[in-house]
Homo-oligomer: A and B are copies of this chain.
Amino acid sequence: MSEKKPPRSPMDHDEFRRIGKETVDYIADYLETVQSRAVYPGVQPGYLRQLIPAEAPQDPEDWEEVFADVDRVIMPGVTHWHSPDFHAYFAPGNSYPSQLGDMLSNALGCVGFSWAASPACTELETVVLDWLGKMLHLPEHLLAGTAGAGGGVIQGTASEAILVALLSARTKVIRREKEADPESSDHDVMKKLVAYSSDQAHSCVDKAAMIAAIKLRKLPTDSDFSLRGTTLSAAMEEDRANGLIPFFCCATLGTTPSCAFDKLLEIGPVCCEENMWLHIDAAYAGSAFICPEYRPLLDGVEFADSFNLNPHKWLRVNFDCSTMWVKNRADVVDAFDVDPLYLRHDNQGLVTDYRHWQIPLGRRFRSLKLWFVLRMFGVKGLQQYIRKHVSLAKEFESLVLSDDRFEVSAKVVMGLVCFRLKGPNTLSERLLQKINETRKIFMVPAKLRDTYVIRFAICAATTESSDIVHAWNVIREQAAEVLAGVQNGV
């Protein structure tokens, strides 16, 4: 059978051999020289539509024509996330081993919704999540092992991990309440449910609560922007007194505005005593827990029902790869299990069918890239990477502290420094706008209570001390102009 020649297609195997290799060179060139590009694009909204035709071509175009448009149409509108001058949001994961994993995943092109749909896709994911779980010293009950009740799964994003946790908790509490009161309907229970997070938690917790149609209380934090156990207890007591049912808490380790850490060792026992689902979102900072010196920040994870971190942020894995572990996978499957015949297979029951662990049905072979990264960097290589980012952040912090026009607005624990010009918010607002207009570096702001701060995140894999100094020079230059403008009444 294999002697049969497949028909001529727009790109046959040999053309791909040639063009694929040119693309590999293009990618290496791009990443090698990315810093020579302005980190933030100079385009205005709507720039792209005028650069390309209004309709798809009827006849095939040549690769050369298509590829030329990457430079003509796409590159002018790209924000270069992997430039050492990119300091916005949080570190985005990227590495060649990860890219190679995705190339293979796409070539296999299996859609791994069940074990049978591609056994390797399911099984590698379970085992590699155990690997990463062990690197993090997660408690045994969060790992799958060969007979565990828990285990890990790769979600697309932390948003999905949190939504899955919330929906699982919702299903569980509805069942419990309806057992206690068989007369009540799902909605009778749902309207009494209340979930908690800190007021620093990511907006995706709000979004998850909107989707799940449950009340979310965002609780005040202490002076370090951390949620305390007593705050949680007090809120729960108040809500119980009002006839509500506390059922879910999302603690954050490494918040987005300032990389603050909720007090897990206080919150955990409260959740545990009160039979409340505890989810831990450590999307960014979680990767750091592979270093023994940062692992204490995760103490209390033994109280958690579920936990997520994003290797696609700080562990050299390309987006998307948000790893999630659950204590009791039956809790998750209960919330999502719908099983038509066309998806059933002979080994049903014996195996993990990840479609019941997530919102979508289909899933890519994402564990390949994670596996490649863990093996090609090794635990030590990844620890070294984390430590380098933290030390660069400390270096930036000391530059800010050395200049008395500026202040550091939150404790620097990981690769993020929140800083501002002393004085009214408008100064720092103007400063950030001017800095980003230079397109020499790119940062985004946050509000810490009423204080506007500029977030300086160490992002690129190749950021070095010289880039920190460069960024600081850009910031100081623009600050001088802002402050001079104020003095001149501008």
Contact = CB atoms under 8 A, between A and B. Distances in A.
Nearest to A18: B24
A96 B20 contact: yes
Contact of A124 (B48, B106, B368, B466): B48
A352 to B, nearest CB: 9
A341 to B, nearest CB: 5
Contact of A13 (B32, B43, B146, B470): B32
A25 B17 contact: yes
A342 B446 contact: yes
Interface in A453-472: 455, 461-462, 464, 466-467, 470
A377 interface: yes
A52 interface: yes
Given A74-B120, A74-B368, A466 B4 contact: yes
Contacts of A92: 109-111
Interface string A32-57: 11011000010111111100101111
A361 B117 contact: no
A66 to B, nearest CB: 5
A56 B109 contact: no
A318 interface: yes
Given A11-B376, A375-B66, A36 B1 contact: yes
A10 B118 contact: no
Contact of A146 (B49, B374, B466): B49
B11 A96 contact: yes
Contact of A210 (B82, B338, B464): B338
Given A77-B120, A187-B191, A341 B446 contact: yes
Interface string A92-103: 111111111011
A183 interface: no
Interface stretch (A230-238, A268-276, A343-351): A343-351
Interface stretch (A126-134, A397-405, A407-415, A475-483): A126-134
A260 interface: no
A158 to B, nearest CB: 8
Interface stretch (A201-209, A242-250, A293-301): A201-209
A120 B341 contact: no
Contacts of A44: 347
A66, A256, A433, most chain B CB atoms within 10 A: A66
Contacts of A52: 127
A446 B341 CA distance: 5
Given A66-B376, A191-B185, A336-B207, A81 B97 contact: no
Given A127-B52, A157-B360, A1 B470 contact: yes
A1 B55 contact: no
Contacts of A333: none
A489 interface: no
A6, A41, A455, most chain B CB atoms within 10 A: A6
Contact of A56 (B61, B104, B132, B470): B132
Given A94-B109, A103-B99, A120 B41 contact: yes
19 contacts: A10-B377, A20-B27, A23-B103, A26-B104, A49-B127, A56-B134, A60-B377, A60-B380, A78-B120, A82-B109, A93-B109, A99-B103, A159-B360, A202-B340, A203-B339, A211-B212, A312-B362, A342-B455, A359-B359
Q: Which 8 A-B pairs have the closest CB atoms?
A: A77-B120, A20-B24, A48-B123, A187-B191, A157-B360, A27-B107, A11-B96, A6-B462
